[in-house]
Structure 1
């Protein structure tokens, strides 16, 4: 079985990216979570971001698809534009901060940092696999 999660890459006018620190494990990650069974993808992105950060957002562009090979979770990450500015904590977050790309790389495991850093690129969505912490090398397709 697979589950599908969604996350938002929200970039401010200074090029900083919004990140949360999870209350359950202390890890820094993009705001997001598992889609509900009857939920539209974009509605899930908006709900998860609002629940974890207090921000209302416009969901813009798909920037990446990421699979946790060990847990069978497929994550869809979307670049989002904030419609509000006031941040707040929730039961799921102990911190919500705007981070520079260097801070993202320093605070997050590679499997999560790449989701936000990939969203800074303007190219096609990235497709990556990871083990929950580290990225896994892509397997080339047979010609």
Structure 2
């Protein structure tokens, strides 16, 4: 897989300001607590590798520096598997599928008082305190359209 290794995108991912609430909430949890669930690790790694196209070893090294339950073999194997073996996980679809709205509100105070649709796809609304996404990918279109059908 060709990696683009955009340093600015890497820093946004590390700082949890990608503009993708599902990713940012989990990265903020990691940065603040040193913890991230396995499902979160998979989703943040998938976005990192398959959407941002950053070398998986950069993400593995970042997790190594942050995780309080860090284990060398588990971390590096999981990142390698995400880069080369495991299927892609769409962060927009995953945020809706796993009903992550309250989790996102907990970790992203800029979205705390927003309705469900604004929490899941804030780029569709005028929310000045939350960053615009690095990119909105066409492969997310179906998930975005499903969220737009939510009754708020």
TM-score by length of 2: 0.26
TM-score by length of 1: 0.27
More strand by share: 1
More helix by share: 2
